[in-house]
Amino acid sequence: QVHLVESGGGVVQPGGSLRLSCVASGFTLNNYGMHWVRQAPGKGLEWVAVISYDGSEKKYAESVKGRISISRDNSQSAVYLQMNSLRREDTAMYYCAKDGVFLIAEYYFDHWGPGTLVTVSS
């Protein structure tokens, strides 16, 4: 049974940094691309970033490019999201999500974690 658990959220001042973690279990992490998706309070879903199964490819939404970095440590069954220069508009629930296709990412999400809340506020 696939299980994803995010952590690392919290309250941070504008301009600050935060590192989110996602620990995966129930499947072989190094066979799947992994994504981060966020949802601002009362708003819709917004894709943030993807990392390929082996970490060799990374892609980002334009809204976070240059400020956010995705990484993974397959030996630790974990995926990370390093968030720098945070803005108020980055306030959201951040979900870790598993890509639906073995090895080659097809950019859809067949399992989601419960999310971790990031609040950017002074």
Partner 1 sequence: SYELTQAPSVSVAPGQTASITCSGDGMGEKFAYWYQQKPGQSPVLVIYQDTKRPSGIPERFSGSNSGNTATLTISGTQVMDEADYYCQAWHISTVIFGGGTKLTVL
Rounded to a whole number of angstroms, the minimum distance from the CB of residue 37 to partner 1 is 8
State the Cα–Cα distance between residues 33 and 57, nearest whole angstrom. 9
Rounded to a whole number of angstroms, the minimum distance from the CB of residue 88 to partner 1 is 21
Which position among 73, 76, 114, 121 is part of the footprint of partner 1 (CB under 8 A)?
114
CA dihedral 100, 89, 85, 97 (to 10 degrees): -10
Instruction: Please identify, using beta-carbon distances, which residue of 1 and 75 lies nearer to partner 1.
Output: 1
CA 41 → CA 88, 101, 115, distances in Å? 12, 29, 13
- Token couple for 32: 């799947």
Which position among 3, 89, 110, 121 is part of the footprint of partner 1 (CB under 8 A)?
110
At position 82, the amino acid (one-letter code) is Q
115 binds partner 1 (CB under 8 A): yes
38 binds partner 1 (CB under 8 A): no
Instruction: Tell me how many residues contact partner 1 (CB under 8 A).
Output: 22
Q: CB of 113 within 8 A of CB of 22?
A: yes
Site of interaction with partner 1 (CB under 8 A): 35, 37, 44-47, 50, 59, 61-62, 95, 100, 106-115
